[in-house]
Amino acid sequence: MALFEHEVVIIGAGPAGMCAAMYAGRSMLNAVVLERGFPGGELLNTEMVEDYPGFERILGAELAQKFHDHAVKFGANIRTGVTVTTLRKRDDGLFETSTDGGEVYLSPTAIITAGGTPVKLGVPGELEYAGKGVSYCAICDGAFFKQQTIAVVGGGDAAVEEADFLTRYAEKVYLIHRRNELRASKLLQKRLFENPKIEMIWDSVVERVEGDEQGLVKSLQLRNVITGAPSQLAATGLFVFIGFRPNTGIIEGHVGHDEMGYLVTDENMQTSIPGLFAAGDLRAQLTRQVTTAVGDATTAAIAVEKYLKALKDGEREPVIQGTGGYTA
């Protein structure tokens, strides 16, 4: 078993993790970022980004590379191909981060930026056309479907809310639900049913996503779950909202969370476990965008620096004091 000691361990190298690493590097902290795949997180599943300040239009993979290069410029130590299995706070106050390779990282603080995972349909063509018509984020990708016919899958608040939102761009939105009634709140349903651009397809599921010669979504194969009858729906976009799972299962012991499992933090991004900070998509908040992820991470990394200073000053229960302004 290999043992490593750092001032902060950052779990996940999506936008939040790389931003936290950049600020940790600027603060001259001994930090390490652990990432099971490639740096970039959900950006790697996003074809084009048009809502990140300073970049009117940039490939998701290109923006991810820029995040990575900027973090490395400030000394970020990003380790890829490392899957964290458990994160726990020991009796001596140190966090013990264990990996599937038998490595253990000890640190007085940790920032969890492991993001979340959209629940997928698991049908043929879904992964093939991800970012090419298949999306899990209406705010991110809705503008790419102006005056087009698209479909949304789901029956809860998220699906209904996003279907309504997508009518700002699309000419026609079909909402596909496997049952004959929605789970969404009555207020959201009322708004949905009053929207002339939205048409319901009840008791149906998507069986296959089909593309055209350019490699973009062109239609969906559906099946009625009552009659078994197949049908084809012409649509250039498919938005899936059947659930989102925050990647918080690695944390041992109780940590404050909301009813959906998202971590609850204070204004400094600190969780209910002192010294454990959270940033990005796994944190309870109004919206989940690249901009909010890096904002969370900026606060978390600066808070970590202040937390560590308080520890070094002998405070048994460190209090993070703000500066009253900002530093460039």
- pLDDT tens figures, 131-186: 999 999 888 899 999 999 999 999 998 899 899 999 999 999 999 999 999 998 89
| Catalytic positions | 137, 140-141
In the chain, the amino acid numbered 212 is D
Q: Is residue 325 pLDDT above 60, yes or no?
A: no
How far is the C-alpha of 248 from the C-alpha of 86, rounded, in Å? Answer: 10
pLDDT at position 71 is 95
Q: Is residue 234 pLDDT above 50, yes or no?
A: yes
Q: Answer with the residue of higher pLDDT: 199 or 287.
A: 199
pLDDT at position 322 is 62
- Percent above pLDDT 90 for the chain: 78
Q: Answer with the residue of higher pLDDT: 243 or 208.
A: 208
Average pLDDT estimate for 99-124? 94
Q: What is the mean pLDDT of the chain?
A: 92
- pLDDT tens figures, 50-109: 889 999 889 888 999 999 999 999 999 999 999 999 999 999 999 999 999 999 999 999
Q: Is residue 209 pLDDT above 90, yes or no?
A: yes
CB 64 within 8 A of CB 43: yes
Strand partners, 83: none
Q: How confident is the model at residue 44 (pLDDT cuts 50, 70, 90)?
A: confident
How far is the C-alpha of 45 from the C-alpha of 15, rounded, in Å? Answer: 13
Average pLDDT estimate for 258-273? 94
Q: How confident is the model at residue 326 (pLDDT cuts 50, 70, 90)?
A: very low
How far is the C-alpha of 174 from the C-alpha of 188, rounded, in Å? Answer: 16
- pLDDT tens figures, 185-195: 898 999 999 99
CB 55 within 8 A of CB 63: yes
Q: Walk me through the domains of the chain, giving residue ranges and CATH numbers.
A: 3-117+244-312 (3.50.50.60), 134-240 (3.50.50.60)
Q: Are strands 244-246 and 149-153 parallel, antiparallel or unpaired?
A: unpaired
| Reported pTM | 0.75
Q: Closest by alpha carbon to 209, among 178, 179, 226, 233?
A: 233
pLDDT at position 327 is 40
How far is the C-alpha of 97 from the C-alpha of 250, rounded, in Å? Answer: 9
Task: Read off the tokens for 130.
Answer: 């991800």
